[in-house]
A and B are shown apart, each in its own frame.
Chain A
Amino acid sequence: MADLSFTRRRAILLLSLTSVILITMDLRGSSVINFTRSAFGVVFRPIESATKVVTRPLGNAWNGMTHYNEVVEENHRLNDLVAFSEGSTISAIASVREAQELLSLNGLPTLAGIASCTAQVVGQSPSNFTQTVEINRGSECGLKVGMPVLNAAGMIGKITDVYNKRSVVMLLSDPGYSLAVKVVNIPAPTTTTTAAPGTVVGDTTTTTFTTTTTTLPRVTTTTGIPGFVPGVTIATSSTLAPLPGEVTVPVGDVGPNQPGKSTNSEITVPAGLDVPLRETGALEGRGISRTPIVRFVENQPRFGAVRIGSPIISAGGATSLAPPDIVIGSVSRIVNRTGTLGPILEVALAANLKNLNFVRILLYQPSSERVVAP
Chain B
Amino acid sequence: MIERVLLLAENRYARLILIGLMVLSLQTTVFNDMRPFGVCLQVMVLLAASAGLARGSDVGAIAGFIIGLLYDLVLTTPMGLCAAVFAIVGYLAGVGQSLVYEPTWWTRMLLGSIASAIGMILLPIVSTVTGATGILNARVLFVALIVGLFNAVLSVPAERLCRWALTEPAVVR
- Asked if residues A55 and B73 are in contact (CB atoms below 8 Å), the reply is no
- Asked if residues B130 and A27 are in contact (CB atoms below 8 Å), the reply is yes
A interface secondary structure, majority: helix
Q: What chain B residues lie within 8 Å of A50 (beta carbons)?
A: 25
- Asked if residues A19 and B83 are in contact (CB atoms below 8 Å), the reply is yes
A26 and B21 contact, Cβ closer than 8 Å, known pairs A40-B73, A48-B29: no
- Asked if residues B24 and A19 are in contact (CB atoms below 8 Å), the reply is no
Q: Type the 1/0 row for A240-268, where 1 means its CB is closer than 8 Å to any CB of B.
A: 00000000000000000000000000000
Q: What chain A residues lie within 8 Å of B33 (beta carbons)?
A: 59, 62-63
- Asked if residues B80 and A44 are in contact (CB atoms below 8 Å), the reply is no
Q: Type the 1/0 row for A1-43, where 1 means its CB is closer than 8 Å to any CB of B.
A: 1010010100110011011111101110000010011001100
Q: Is A69 an interface residue when CB atoms closer than 8 A count as contact?
A: no
- Asked if residues A23 and B73 are in contact (CB atoms below 8 Å), the reply is no
- Asked if residues B84 and A33 are in contact (CB atoms below 8 Å), the reply is no
Give Cα A341 to B83, complex, Å: 50
- Asked if residues B65 and A18 are in contact (CB atoms below 8 Å), the reply is yes
Chain B: interface size category: 20 to 34
8 Å CB contact of B79 from A26, A41, A52, A66 = A26
Q: What chain B residues lie within 8 Å of A11 (beta carbons)?
A: 58, 61-62
**Using a CB-CB cutoff of 8 Å, which residues 13-37 of chain B contact chain A?**
13, 21-22, 24-26, 28-30, 33-34, 36
8 Å CB contact of A44 from B24, B61, B69, B87 = B24
Q: What chain A residues lie within 8 Å of B87 (beta carbons)?
A: 15, 19
- Asked if residues A48 and B30 are in contact (CB atoms below 8 Å), the reply is no
Q: Type the 1/0 row for A43-77, where 1 means its CB is closer than 8 Å to any CB of B.
A: 01001101110010011001100100000000000
- Asked if residues B73 and A44 are in contact (CB atoms below 8 Å), the reply is yes
**Using a CB-CB cutoff of 8 Å, which residues 64-92 of chain B contact chain A?**
65, 69, 72-74, 78-81, 83-84, 87, 91
8 Å CB contact of B83 from A6, A22, A36, A52 = A22
Q: Is B134 an interface residue when CB atoms closer than 8 A count as contact?
A: no
Q: What chain B residues lie within 8 Å of A63 (beta carbons)?
A: 33
- Asked if residues B91 and A58 are in contact (CB atoms below 8 Å), the reply is no
- Asked if residues B84 and A48 are in contact (CB atoms below 8 Å), the reply is no
Chain A: interface size category: 20 to 34
Task: Report B154 CB to chain A, min CB distance, Å.
Answer: 14
Q: What chain B residues lie within 8 Å of A3 (beta carbons)?
A: 13, 59, 62
- Asked if residues A58 and B73 are in contact (CB atoms below 8 Å), the reply is no
Q: Is B57 an interface residue when CB atoms closer than 8 A count as contact?
A: yes
Task: Report A65 CB to chain B, min CB distance, Å.
Answer: 10
**Using a CB-CB cutoff of 8 Å, which residues 108-143 of chain A contact chain B?**
none
Give Cα A12 to B72, complex, Å: 19
Give Cα A16 to B126, complex, Å: 13
- Asked if residues A44 and B58 are in contact (CB atoms below 8 Å), the reply is no
**Closest partner residue, chain A, to B34 (CB atom):** A62
Give Cα A62 to B29, complex, Å: 13
Q: Please list the 10 inter-chain residue pairs (A to B) with the smallest Cβ-Cβ separation, ordered nearest first.
A: A22-B80, A19-B84, A51-B25, A55-B30, A26-B79, A19-B80, A40-B73, A23-B80, A26-B78, A59-B33
A sample of 25 cross-chain residue pairs with beta-carbon separation below 8 angstroms, ordered by A number, consists of A3-B59, A6-B58, A15-B83, A15-B84, A19-B65, A19-B81, A19-B83, A20-B80, A22-B78, A22-B80, A23-B84, A23-B130, A36-B73, A37-B73, A37-B79, A44-B24, A47-B21, A47-B25, A48-B25, A50-B25, A51-B25, A55-B29, A58-B30, A59-B30, A59-B34
A residues in contact (CB < 8 Å) with B: 1, 3, 6, 8, 11-12, 15-16, 18-23, 25-27, 33, 36-37, 40-41, 44, 47-48, 50-52, 55, 58-59, 62-63, 66
Q: Could you list 15 further interchain pairs (A-B, Cβ under 8 angstroms) beyond the known A44-B74, A47-B25?
A: A3-B62, A15-B62, A23-B79, A23-B80, A23-B130, A25-B79, A26-B78, A36-B73, A40-B73, A41-B74, A44-B24, A48-B25, A48-B29, A51-B29, A59-B30
